[in-house]
Amino acid sequence: MTASKKVALITGITGQDGSYLSELLLEKDYTVHGIVRRTSNLFRSRIEHLRRDESIYGRRLFLHYGDLADNATLGRIIADVQPTELYHLAGQSHVGLSFEIPESTCEEAGMATLRLLEIIRSQTQPVRFYHASTSEIFGNASEVPQTEATPMRPTSPYGCAKTFATQLGQVYRESYGLFVCNGILYNHESPRRGENFVTRKIARAAARIARNLETELLLGNIESQRDWGRAQDYVHAMWLMLQYHTADDYVVATGELHSVRDFVEAAFAIVELPWQKYVKHDPAFDRPTEPGRLVGCSDKIRKILGWKPRGTFSELVREMVEMELAAIDSRETPHELLP
């Protein structure tokens, strides 16, 4: 079935990170398998360009139906595909929403990771496993910036589930010698970001207001601060982790903090509009709790794996807003415009 020796399986291939990771691995001559959920719509916007490419789809890229709740199917796919590397990215990833749907969030972000770890433990061939951990495990962080040694103090159901999964990854690595890496990734964005995450929401609204398609932008807490990087750089970090001779955990971050307000100001400056006229506070977008100052120290991955983030905060905002404008002007979705 497989042409090249390196075989990757990606859960969450249709998500922001899954789509960029697929492109990276295909460039590196991997055979890529992805798990997709059954939906009523066959159009999977972020990977549609790959699915339509006859030189790739069905030759080096394969999609399999599966759900994180369906253990038997996950086991069968892994047994059939025999991946050398498994990138586990799937799950409900919205922190605010995790307060509304805590049980399914914890099932997907927590228990599903345990199921996958158990499946790879039972494989006869070794599988290198990447777990999509997050800065949300630090939550009410006891130090700034955070490192791999910072205690985990999550502040949301999502953060709790990711903490559980991160610690399980460590336990399976230490107890059974499995090759398991936790990538402790801080926020990373792109024009492919889901529309209900704050950066995409702002970029999209700034563009739509500039083109007279909308009149206001409703936001929660604009004083919140995050360490925002570029998704394309962060999937490269995932790949680097699985190429090293030993498995470990790594913080992946820019080390720079910006507020939601900074993002708003930069986005509206690009379309030359006064943001104060359009941005309104809507308490519906406030969260019951917010984490502390989440900003990462990525010295370890920079030193050991030679990773570093590229570009600046302003360039990221510009890329996202300009892609939204181009999408409106050409009536395409931003995903379809991407190279």
Cβ contact 6:28 at 8 Å: yes
Q: Within 10 Å of residue 233's Cβ, how many Cβ atoms?
A: 18
Asked if 89 interacts with ligand NAP (CB under 6 A), we say: yes
Q: Is 134 a catalytic residue?
A: yes
Asked if 222 interacts with ligand NAP (CB under 6 A), we say: no
Select from 8, 15, 32, 157 the one that contacts ligand NAP (CB under 6 A): 15
Looking at the Cβ atoms of 33 and 204, the one nearer to ligand GDD is: 204
Q: Is 11 a catalytic residue?
A: no
With contacts defined by CB under 6 A, name the span among 39-47, 218-226, 240-248, 249-257 that binds ligand GDD. 218-226
Over the window 102 to 131, marking each residue x when it contacts ligand NAP by CB under 6 A and - when it does not, the resulting string is ------x-----------------------
Residue 25, contacted partner among ligand NAP, ligand GDD, none, CB below 5-8 A by kind:
none
Select from 90, 207, 253, 305 the one that contacts ligand NAP (CB under 6 A): 90
Select from 62, 83, 87, 91 the one that contacts ligand NAP (CB under 6 A): 91
Which residue type, as a one-letter code, is found at position 221? N
Select from 160, 198, 206, 327 the one that contacts ligand GDD (CB under 6 A): 198
Say how far apart CA 291 and CA 284 lie, in whole Å: 18
Asked if 14 interacts with ligand NAP (CB under 6 A), we say: yes
Cβ contact 199:308 at 8 Å: no
C-alpha separations of 329 from 3, 201, 269, 301 in Å: 40, 18, 19, 40
By C-alpha distance, which of 338, 227, 216 is closest to 330?
Answer: 338
Asked if 16 interacts with ligand NAP (CB under 6 A), we say: yes
Half-sphere exposure of 248 (CA within 13 A, CB side): 16
- Which residues in the 191-210 window bind ligand NAP by CB under 6 A? 194
Residue 91, contacted partner among ligand GDD, ligand NAP, none, CB below 5-8 A by kind:
ligand NAP
Select from 96, 157, 229, 334 the one that contacts ligand GDD (CB under 6 A): 96
By C-alpha distance, which of 299, 226, 230, 297 is closest to 257?
Answer: 226
Asked if 95 interacts with ligand GDD (CB under 6 A), we say: yes
DSSP 296: B
- Which residues in the 129-188 window bind ligand GDD by CB under 6 A? 134-136, 186-187
Q: At 125, list the tokens.
A: 């061939």
Give me the catalytic one of 20, 158, 250, 278.
158
By C-alpha distance, which of 173, 98, 193, 90 is closest to 139?
Answer: 98
C-alpha separations of 67 from 107, 113, 164, 245 in Å: 12, 12, 20, 31
Say how far apart CA 110 and CA 251 lie, in whole Å: 19
Q: Is 158 a catalytic residue?
A: yes
Cβ contact 132:183 at 8 Å: yes
Asked if 219 interacts with ligand GDD (CB under 6 A), we say: yes
Cβ contact 60:4 at 8 Å: yes
Select from 7, 50, 68, 264 the one that contacts ligand NAP (CB under 6 A): 68
Q: At 107, list the tokens.
A: 């099932």
User: Minimal CB distance to ligand NAP: which residue?
Assistant: 15
Looking at the Cβ atoms of 81 and 95, the one nearer to ligand GDD is: 95
User: Which residues participate in catalysis according to the annotation?
Assistant: 134, 136, 158
Residues of the shown chain interacting with ligand NAP in the complex, contacts defined by CB under 6 A: 12, 14-18, 37, 39, 67-69, 89-93, 108, 132, 134, 185, 187-188, 194
